[in-house]
Amino acid sequence: MKSLKRREFFKYSLAGAGGALCSNLITKIPFIAIPDTAYALSSSGKLSHVEAKYYKKLEHKEIECQLCPRKCKVGDRERGYCGVRENQKGIYYTLVYGLACSFHQDPIEKKPFFHFLPGTDAFSIATAGCNLNCKFCQNWEISQARPEQTDNYELSPQTVVESALNGSCSSIAYTYSEPTVFYEYMLDCAKAGKGKGVKSVMVSAGFIQPEPLVELCKELDAVKIDLKAFNEKYYQEICRGKLQPVLDTLKELKRIGIWYEIVYLMVPTLNDNMDDIRKMCDWMLKDLGPDMPVHFTRFTPLYLLKNLPPTPVSSLEQARKIAQDAGLKFVYIGNVPGHEGESTYCPKCKKILIGRYGFTITQMNLKKGNCKFCGEKIPGVWT
């Protein structure tokens, strides 16, 4: 196994992250300072052999996974739905620990986090696999792949933290695919980062059991949840998942007190019913409160939904108004660069607090987490 030079490693990192980058506005692609201790593995390279957390042993070497709501029952030499966790003689292993198939240095606004260290960068990593199968996934090349099908790079938690520090990144983002399926890797990276003053954020669909979520949030600093829709039919038919566990995750994040933001990707004809959106916003206000940011994001035809058009901007604007009228204070429009809905406004004096164009900050009018015009305290993680 040959060590890659920095220049070669950077080249391969861009190739691996391409699926995550192609559909978004790129304002900068900074150099990723990966240490020379990183190694490239071919698609036929070794997989990890680290015992998984959160499973229970059953009879006849069968196990039941306790990580996500699927609770897969997995026989010997079989894998769970995610494809990256395998039962070997009654012991469940993660096959992707330390094996990143995509990494990049991103603006935190790309995740998107709008109330978490604005203007900073995150060192973003992913492994193969996902516990959902969303027909609109922009990163399906890695989320729906098995680890044998991706080009993987050996990045230990310590190497991930060192890479973040070398790139002057304030945080590590677990993103692109579904971080829940590389739970053990994410947990150890977050712990290692905390010891070096590097924060951690998870970009997730929220399809996770409460117990592992609680343990994880002790090490994380923020979570972004993709709420796919507000009806079970959509989750079952478009995502092959369930809505209620995601709602439970959101309520648990509220109870824990960690910072979180919500993204709603609006897909024309499928989850753009304004009555459903109104019900969702009423639920958010009642169960989550008015302060967490909600991003209504424009859909781009990808993967299995190339037959649909991009979301009309007018639909996003209507959803935003519904959310604001319901009492939510921080409602955004995503994937429409230059739209006024990208910026943060003071809920009291209505002036612009954080001006944005795509992933670029154009003005900053926060002072120690307060509106510099009227002094209103703005919820978020600012330092």
- Report pLDDT digits (tens) over 321-346: 999 999 999 999 999 999 999 999 99
Mean pLDDT of 84-100: 98
pTM of the model: 0.90
pLDDT in tens, 348-358: 999 999 999 99
Tokens of 355: 């001006």
pLDDT for position 289: 98
Token pair in block for residue 283: 């639920």
Residue 251 pLDDT > 60: yes
Q: Using one digit for the tens of pLDDT, what is the confidence trace for 45-80?
A: 689 999 999 999 999 999 999 999 999 999 999 999
Reduced to 3 states, what is the DSSP secondary structure of residue 309?
coil
At 197 the pLDDT is 98
**pLDDT exceeds 60 at position 36:** no
Tokens standing for residue 64: 């039941």
CB 327 within 8 A of CB 292: no
- Report the residue count for the chain: 383
Section 206-215 average pLDDT? 98
C-alpha distances (whole Å) from 16 to each of 22, 39, 110, 306 are 11, 14, 17, 22
pLDDT at 223 over 50: yes
Q: Is the pLDDT of residue 31 over 80?
A: no
> In this predicted structure, what is the pLDDT of residue 37?
43
pLDDT of 6 strictly over 80: no
**AA letter at 128:** A
At 322 the pLDDT is 98
CA atoms within 13 A on the CB side of 130: 26
At a CB cut-off of 8 Å and minimum separation 6, what does 191 contact? 157, 219
Q: How confident is the model at residue 12 (pLDDT cuts 50, 70, 90)?
A: very low
Q: What is the mean pLDDT of the chain?
A: 91
Question: In CATH, what is the architecture of 6-41+102-342?
Answer: Alpha-Beta Barrel (3.20)
What angle is formed at CA 226 by the lines to CA 355 and CA 331, rounded to 5 degrees?
Answer: 35
* pLDDT tens column, 364-373: 999 999 999 9
- Please state the rounded mean pLDDT for residues 210-238: 98
32-41, 121-130, 158-167, 343-352: lowest mean pLDDT where?
Answer: 32-41
**Pair 310, 299: CB distance under 8 Å:** yes
Contact assessment for residue 266 and residue 308, using Cβ atoms and an 8 Å cutoff: no
- Helix (H) or strand (E) run with residue 92 in it: strand 91-94
The pLDDT assigned to 143 comes to: 98
- Coil, strand or helix at 65: strand
Cα-to-chain-centroid distance, residue 290:
22
Q: At residue 14, does pLDDT exceed 60? A: no
Residue 196 has pLDDT above 80, yes or no: yes
For residue 5, the Cα-to-chain-centroid distance in whole angstroms is 29
pLDDT of residue 162: 97
Amino acid at 145: A
Per-residue pLDDT of 127-154, as tens digits, reads: 999 999 999 999 999 999 999 999 999 9
Burial bucket for residue 174 (CB in 10 Å: 0-12, 13-18, 19+): buried
Tell me the sheet residues that pair with 266: 298
**Single-letter amino acid code for the residue at 48:** S
Share of the chain above pLDDT 90, in %: 88
pLDDT for res 262: 98
Place of tokens 């302060």: 291
pLDDT of residue 4: 40
CA distance linking residue 189 with residue 212, whole number of Å = 15
Does 205 have pLDDT greater than 80?
A: yes
- Least Cα distance to 222 among 258, 188, 194 occurs for 258
Identify the pLDDT of residue 22. Answer: 34
| 33, pLDDT greater than 80 | no
- Those residues with Cβ within 8 angstroms of residue 238's Cβ, 6 or more apart along the chain or in another chain: 134, 135, 136, 228, 229, 267, 270, 271
Mean pLDDT value across residues 257-264: 98
- Between 41 and 294, whose confidence is greater? 294
**Mode of pairing for the β-strands spanning 85-88 and 259-266:** unpaired
- Residues 226-249 have pLDDT tens digits of 999 999 999 999 999 999 999 999
Please tell me the predicted confidence (pLDDT) of residue 11. 35
Question: What is the Cα Rg of the chain in Å?
Answer: 20
The CATH 3.20.20.70 domain(s) of the chain lie at 6-41+102-342
| Interacting residues of 84 by C-beta distance below 8 A, sequence separation 6+ | 94, 95, 96, 127, 128, 129, 146, 147, 181, 182
Identify whether 112 is preceded by a cis peptide bond (ω within 30 of 0): yes
Residue 10 has pLDDT above 60, yes or no: no
Position 28 confidence tier, pLDDT thresholds 50, 70, 90: very low
